[in-house]
Structure 1
């Protein structure tokens, strides 16, 4: 797949961003825009994230695992209940996640545009095909 085709397969994807570090939020928003995605909402804390997930329509979400000391897992549960796939973002790796979430795609911090694109593409493909 060429770079243009890869970008096209993400074009129009609606993504939620849950991240408590403003610079990382801005970086993610820039990356998603460059990939042709649309950020449909962002949240910096657990309460905002829970409200956002209740009200937003999204194809996927990117969740910082630790929101100012609060684990993001209640938001992950909400997304799971709504059938919205998500990606964890963590500087600690997936091995530190609770067992329930070990198989969830995880972006390492710091991440690259290619890592965001590849991981987002994978969760969106899984959603379309219904595979795990």
Structure 2
């Protein structure tokens, strides 16, 4: 079976260590090269600016703050991403709701998210 994320560099922005490791391991099993994980919005923005990435998995709450600057930058660069979070999708403003939302506990489905 072909790995669905083979050859893709995927940024992981998640500040909870064990969740970040679990997502990272799952992405690697799907064939992705993981960038990060990074634990803050500033680190994610720096990675986007400085590193060659193809997609991203974002937690909504990084270091206690819900901030959409990373999602906005990925959108501006036309890079696909999913939100991996335990928050209700209603937390996401309507103009950002076109992105898939995956609960962190069900992250193994991230590879099946539409781009």
Instruction: Give the alignment's TM-score, normalised by structure 1.
Output: 0.80
Which residue in 2 is equivalent to 1:117?
Answer: 111
Q: Please list every run of 5 or more consecutive structure 2 residues that lacks an aligned counterpart in the other structure.
A: none
Q: Does 1:38 align with 2:39?
A: no
Count of residue pairs brought into register by the alignment: 115
Give 1:1-40 correspondences, 5 Å limit.
4-5=1-2, 7=3, 9-40=4-35
Larger Rg: 1
Which residue in 2 is equivalent to 1:77?
Answer: 72
Q: Which is richer in helix? A: 1
Q: Deviations over 1:9-61 (max 9, x none)?
A: 32111100000101011001100111111012321012111111111211110
Alpha-carbon distance in structure 2 between the residues aligned to 1:40 and 1:81: 19
CA RMSD of aligned residues (A): 1.3
Q: Report if the CA contact (8 A) 1:15-1:38 is conserved.
A: yes
Q: Please list every run of 5 or more consecutive structure 1 residues that lacks an aligned counterpart in the other structure.
A: 124-132
